[in-house]
C-alpha cells in the first residue's frame, strides 16, 4: 500500500483551515493566485470540514484528518448512525472483553472508526471491552487516506486491507464476531439502486460465505428498500433496525444470526446530542393481530409518527398500545383529547376547515406549512391552490378522517400558548 505523506499536503491543509469560510468555487476560479497550493485538494478539505460540523463533529478536533472526495463523504455514515451500529454490537456481544469486526465496505471509514474507538468498562472487575477492526476496501486512494487517518486518530486496533472484500474474506480462516457490509448502491452508469441483487457486491450471491465467517452479519440497505422483501431475500434475519436521524430515515440494518421465529423490527429515531427517543420494537405478527380504534371526529391533538415508525409500519400497534385513535385505516395520523407521550410530532388542533382560500385567509401573513396525509393532492400543489406561502408557525394538515376529506389548522403542541 502507498504511504500517505502528509508533508506533501501540509500547505494545502493549512490553507483549508485558513479559508474555511471562503467560497470554494471562487477559490477554484482564481487558482492562479495560489500557485504553490494543491487547490483541488484544499477545497476538498474545506468542504469536508464543513460537512463534519453536522455529520462528524467527533472529527473536528483532529486538524490533520483528511477527508475523501465528495461521493465518499456522501455515502459515509454519520457519527450518530455509526454509533448506533456500535450499540447494536454492544447488545450482541454483552459482557465479552473484546470483539472482532470486519468492515467489508470500508469507504471513508466512519463505521470502522466508531467500532475501533468505542470502549467501556463492563464492571470494575472486568477488562475493558474493545474491538479489533479489519477495514477492507478495494479503492486504493481510500485505503491510503484511511491509513493516514488511523494514525491521526491513534487507532492501532484497525488493520487496513486494500482488496476485493469477498476474495479477502474467502481467503480468511477466521470467525469474526461481526461482519458489517454496506454494498454500493449505484449502477455502473451512476444510477441509484436499492435491491440487493443490483448492489456491489451482490451479497445474495455470497451469503453462504458471509454467514460462515461470522457470528452476526450486519447488512446496511437503502432506506428505500422494502423491509419484508429484504427479510425474504436474506432468509436468516433476526432483527431489522430502521434508523432515522432528526426525523429523516437514513438506513435499514438487517441482522443475520441468532434465533428468532420471526424478525424483530426496531424503529429508532436519533436526535444528535440526545439519546434515542423513539425505540419501538415489534413483529409483523404482532402488528397483524393488533386492533386499532378509529375516530369519528378529531380530538384536541393530532399525532404524526416519526420517520422510523412510518418506515417500520407498526400502525395498528401505535393505536392499540398507546390508546390513540387512527383518523382512518390508511391515514397514519392519530388523535386524542388528552396529551400522550409520542414518538414524532404532536399538533394542537385550532380549527377544522374545508380546504379553500377563504377558510385559510385567517392565517396570519398567509404563511403556513402544508402537510398532506392520505389526501388526493401533493403538498406543493395544495399550497399553491390555497394561496399559501411556506413558513410561519402554523400548519395546515390535509387528510382523510373516516371517509371525509378535510383539513385542520394546527400549531405545534409546544407553541399552543401563543395561540
pLDDT tens, the chain, 419 aa long: 444 455 557 788 889 999 999 999 999 998 888 888 889 999 999 999 999 999 999 999 999 999 999 999 999 999 999 999 999 998 888 766 788 999 999 999 999 999 998 754 343 434 545 789 999 999 999 999 999 999 999 999 999 999 999 999 999 989 999 999 999 887 666 678 888 998 889 999 999 999 999 999 999 999 999 999 999 999 999 999 999 998 889 999 999 987 888 999 999 998 876 655 667 899 999 999 999 999 999 999 999 999 999 999 999 999 999 999 999 999 999 999 999 989 899 999 999 999 999 999 999 999 999 999 999 999 999 999 999 999 999 999 999 999 999 999 999 988 777 66
Phi-psi category of 385—alpha, beta or left, where left has phi over 0 and alpha has psi -120 to 50? alpha
What CA–CA distance (Å, rounded) separates 259 from 127? 28
Residue 143 and residue 17 share a domain: no
218 closest CA partner among 188, 176, 180, 175: 180
Same-domain check for residues 400 and 323 = yes
CATH of the domain at 242: 3.40.50.150
What pLDDT does 277 receive? 60
Last residue of a domain, one of 236, 265, 285: 285
pLDDT of residue 98: 82
Q: Are residues 29 and 78 in the same domain?
A: no
State the CB neighbour count (10 A cutoff) for residue 75: 16
At 37, list the grid cell: 497550493
From 268, 285, 302, the end of a domain falls on: 285
Please indicate, yes or no, if residue 231 is contained in any of the structural domains: yes
Is the same domain home to 345 and 368? yes
Distance CA 389, CA 378 (A): 15
Does residue 1 sit within a domain?
no
Helix, strand or coil, per DSSP, at residue 35: coil
Is residue 200 included in any domain, yes or no?
yes
What SS3 string covers 347-380?
EEEEEEECCCHHHHCCCHHHECEEEEECCCCCHH
For the chain, what is the domain count?
Answer: 3
Task: Mark which of 23, 52, 67 sits at the end of a domain.
Answer: 67
Residue identified by cell 401533493 is: 378
Please check whether residues 168 and 90 belong to one and the same domain.
Answer: yes
Q: Tell me the C-alpha distance between 94 and 215, whole Å.
A: 13
Range of the domain at 315: 291-418
Looking at the structure, do residues 58 and 187 belong to the same domain, yes or no? no
Q: Are both 267 and 336 inside the same structural domain? A: no
Tell me whether residue 86 is in a domain: yes
Contact 99, 215 (CB under 8 A): no
User: Is position 125 within any domain?
Assistant: yes
Is 43 part of a structural domain of the chain? yes
Residues 260 and 328 in one domain: no
User: How confident is the model at residue 90, as a pLDDT?
Assistant: 86
Q: How many CB atoms lie within 10 A of CB 392?
A: 15
- Same domain (yes/no): 98, 246: yes
Global pTM reads 0.90
Is 278 in the same domain as 309? no
Q: Is 181 a domain residue?
A: yes
**Alpha-carbon torsion, ordered 95, 96, 97, 103, to 10 deg:** -120
Within this chain, do residues 116 and 252 fall inside the same structural domain, yes or no? yes
Contacts of 87 (CB under 8 A, 6+ apart): none
Q: Is 341 found in the same domain as 389?
A: yes
Q: Rounded to an integer, what distance in angstroms lies between the CA atom of residue 243 and that of residue 77?
A: 11
Kindly tell me the sign of the dihedral angle through the C-alpha atoms of 277, 289, 259, 215: negative
Residue 164 per-residue DSSP state: -
Amino acid at each position: 500500500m502507498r504511504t500517505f505523506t502528509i508533508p506533501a499536503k501540509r500547505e494545502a491543509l493549512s490553507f483549508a483551515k485558513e479559508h474555511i469560510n471562503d467560497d470554494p468555487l471562487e477559490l477554484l476560479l482564481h487558482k492562479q493566485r495560489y500557485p504553490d497550493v494543491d487547490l483541488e485538494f484544499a477545497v476538498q478539505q474545506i468542504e469536508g470540514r464543513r460537512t463534519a460540523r453536522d455529520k462528524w463533529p467527533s472529527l473536528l478536533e483532529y486538524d490533520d484528518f483528511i477527508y475523501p472526495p465528495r461521493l465518499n463523504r456522501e455515502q459515509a455514515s454519520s457519527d450518530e448512525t455509526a454509533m448506533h451500529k456500535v450499540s447494536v454490537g454492544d447488545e450482541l456481544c454483552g459482557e465479552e472483553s473484546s470483539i472482532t469486526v470486519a468492515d467489508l465496505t470500508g469507504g471513508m471509514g466512519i463505521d470502522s472508526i466508531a467500532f475501533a474507538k468505542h470502549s467501556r468498562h463492563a464492571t470494575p472487575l472486568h477488562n475493558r471491552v474493545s474491538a479489533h477492526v479489519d477495514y477492507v476496501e478495494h479503492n486504493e486512494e481510500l485505503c491510503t487516506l484511511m491509513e493516514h487517518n488511523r494514525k491521526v486518530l491513534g487507532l492501532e486496533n484497525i488493520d487496513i486491507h486494500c482488496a476485493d472484500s469477498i476474495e479477502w474474506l474467502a481467503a480468511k480462516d477466521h470467525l469474526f464476531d461481526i461482519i458489517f457490509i454496506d454494498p454500493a448502491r449505484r449502477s455502473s452508469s451512476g444510477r441509484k439502486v436499492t435491491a440487493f441483487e443490483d448492489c456491489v457486491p451482490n451479497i445474495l450471491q455470497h451469503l453462504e460465505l458471509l454467514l460462515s465467517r461470522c457470528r452476526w452479519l450486519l447488512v446496511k440497505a437503502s432506506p428505500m428498500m422494502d423491509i419484508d422483501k429484504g427479510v425474504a431475500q436474506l432468509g436468516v434475519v433476526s432483527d431489522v433496525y430502521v434508523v432515522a436521524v432528526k426525523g429523516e430515515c437514513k438506513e435499514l440494518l438487517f441482522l443475520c444470526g441468532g434465533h428468532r421465529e420471526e424478525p424483530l423490527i426496531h424503529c429508532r429515531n436519533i436526535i444528535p446530542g440526545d439519546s434515542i427517543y423513539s425505540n419501538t420494537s415489534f413483529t409483523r405478527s404482532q402488528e397483524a393481530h393488533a386492533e386499532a380504534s378509529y375516530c369519528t371526529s378529531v380530538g384536541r391533538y393530532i399525532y404524526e409518527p416519526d420517520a422510523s415508525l412510518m418506515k417500520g409500519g407498526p400502525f395498528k400497534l401505535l393505536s392499540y398500545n398507546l390508546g390513540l385513535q387512527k383518523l382512518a385505516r390508511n391515514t397514519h395520523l392519530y388523535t386524542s383529547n388528552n396529551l400522550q407521550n409520542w414518538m414524532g410530532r404532536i399538533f394542537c388542533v385550532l380549527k377544522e376547515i374545508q380546504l379553500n382560500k377563504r377558510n385559510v385567509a385567517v392565517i396570519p401573513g398567509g404563511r403556513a406549512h402544508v402537510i398532506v396525509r392520505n389526501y388526493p393532492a401533493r403538498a406543493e400543489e395544495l399550497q399553491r391552490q390555497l394561496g399559501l406561502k411556506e413558513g410561519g408557525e402554523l400548519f395546515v394538515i390535509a387528510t382523510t378522517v373516516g371517509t371525509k376529506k378535510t383539513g385542520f389548522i394546527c400549531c405545534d403542541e409546544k407553541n399552543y400558548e401563543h395561540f
